[in-house]
Amino acid sequence: MKILGIESSCDETAAAVVEDGSILHSNVIVSQIDIHSHYGGVVPEVAARSHIEAINPVITEALEKANCTWDAIDAIAVTYAPGLIGSLLVGTLAARTLAILHNKPLYPIHHVEAHVYANFVTGTTEPNSTLAFPSKQPRFPMLALIVSGGHSQLVLFRNHGDYELLGQTQDDAVGEAYDKVAKIIGLPYPGGPSIAKAAALGDPRKYRFPKAKLQNPYDFSFSGLKTAVLRSVQAAVGKDYTFPSHELPALLDEVTRNNFAASFQQIANETLVDKAVKAFDDYQPASVVIAGGVAANQDLRKQLKGRLPINIEYAPMQLCTDNAAMIGTLGYYYAQKMAPADPYTLEVVPSLSMTKTAWNKQEA
């Protein structure tokens, strides 16, 4: 079954063709990072406008790269939740229109569930692909550490479409913390990759930031860590909380900036790994996966591997940040359980917890 996946929930316009929830035939991503970096973050109106320009060419390119005519496509899967409303609308309307025009079943996909399914892609037919895939799909029960710009969650999957939320962030998502700390120390947007780069040159033990203690051992909290970094930066340059934070970066030298990046990354990742290891010990899953943009972080991958007694195979970094391969992949498993949506009425849902999707049996 070949599924055309479409993704436009934030600042990437993407389309991909995936067969049977495991083989990638094409994976096209147009990123708006260059546009939004001028503003230090995603500007929703600008994002929606850029999606409108990119969506049709991206879909056409995905079909062409997969050597597919519409006849060869069995279904369309599209991100309908959660995300920026204007951004979601563009992809969803395109998918609805194409489903009607070409008479294809349409599957509405939850973006965060889909991040987890990047781990189910095991190969590609694309010539000259440099992606390094896992050798096999994860087994159930599967523990998923979901770490993106909007989410930080630990989820136990008993099977496809049957999972339980073990814990989640009580305030900022970890990707959000990466982005905010990058801003404090003067590194460019998006903060995750630029912190990772600076951290490689810094000392992760230079500053020892605190870890939040929470009642539920699987919950996260990152806003205290972000404030601790801010206070520490202020102290390092001899200023207090009254000093404008946007003027702090100019006072930091490169060595100090790299040390802050490394020390923040160390504690943020250690916190994530602490919780994942606790959940592993308590639930003894057959596999562990990480998902979402922060899963591209090499130090996180290394720390997790070092502390778990099982072998972990990671998804290619390019499938961790937003893409449509994960949407087309989940579309396949979704189609095994669910009837298609009505293309005339499918609505976007900008905020929808992943535990509330129709695909998951479990109600939170």
Is the CB of 179 or the CB of 322 nearer to Zn ion?
322
Quick one: what does residue 178 bind among Zn ion, ligand KG4, none, with the CB cut-off 5 to 8 Å set by partner type? ligand KG4
Q: Which of 13, 119, 124, 148 binds Zn ion (CB under 5 A)?
A: 148
3-class SS string, 136-148: CCCCCCEEEEEEC
CA dist 20 and 333 (Å) reads 8
Q: Is 178 in the site for ligand KG4 (CB under 6 A)?
A: yes
Q: Which of 28, 109, 248, 294 binds ligand KG4 (CB under 6 A)?
A: 294
CA dist 287 and 114 (Å) reads 17
Q: Which whole-number Å values give the CA distances from 154 to 59, 122, 183, 289, 333, in the listed order?
A: 32, 23, 27, 10, 21
Is the CB of 110 or the CB of 275 nearer to Zn ion?
110
Q: Is 172 in the site for ligand KG4 (CB under 6 A)?
A: no
DSSP E strand stretches across the chain: 2-7, 12-19, 23-31, 75-81, 106-110, 123-124, 142-147, 152-159, 162-168, 287-291
Q: Is 11 in the site for Zn ion (CB under 5 A)?
A: no
CB 86 → ligand KG4: shortest distance, Å? Answer: 16
User: Which amino acid is located at 339 in the chain?
Assistant: A
Q: Is 121 in the site for ligand KG4 (CB under 6 A)?
A: no
Structure tokens that stand for 240 in this block:
């207090």
Quick one: what does residue 343 bind among Zn ion, ligand KG4, none, with the CB cut-off 5 to 8 Å set by partner type? none
- Cβ within 8 Å of residue 139, ≥6 positions away: 286, 287
- Cβ within 8 Å of residue 266, ≥6 positions away: 199, 204, 205, 299
Q: Which stretch binds ligand KG4 (CB under 6 A): 26-34, 190-198, 229-237, 306-314?
A: 190-198
Q: Is 150 in the site for ligand KG4 (CB under 6 A)?
A: yes
Quick one: what does residue 297 bind among ligand KG4, Zn ion, none, with the CB cut-off 5 to 8 Å set by partner type? ligand KG4
Burial 53-71 (b: 16+ CB within 10 A, else e): ebbeebbeebbebbebeee
Q: Is 19 in the site for Zn ion (CB under 5 A)?
A: no
**Contacts with ligand KG4 in 9-28 (CB under 6 A)?**
10
User: Which amino acid is located at 237 in the chain?
Assistant: V
Q: Is 202 in the site for ligand KG4 (CB under 6 A)?
A: no
Q: Which of 1, 33, 39 is nearest to 17 (CA)?
A: 1
Q: Is 179 in the site for Zn ion (CB under 5 A)?
A: no
To 10 degrees, the CA torsion angle through 152, 158, 159, 161?
A: -50
Q: Which of 54, 89, 296, 348 binds ligand KG4 (CB under 6 A)?
A: 296
Q: Is 8 in the site for ligand KG4 (CB under 6 A)?
A: no
Is the CB of 75 or the CB of 319 nearer to ligand KG4?
319
Interface residues with ligand KG4 (CB under 6 A)?
Answer: 10, 148-150, 175, 178-179, 190-193, 196, 292-294, 296-297, 321-322
- Which residues contact Zn ion by CB under 5 A? 148, 322
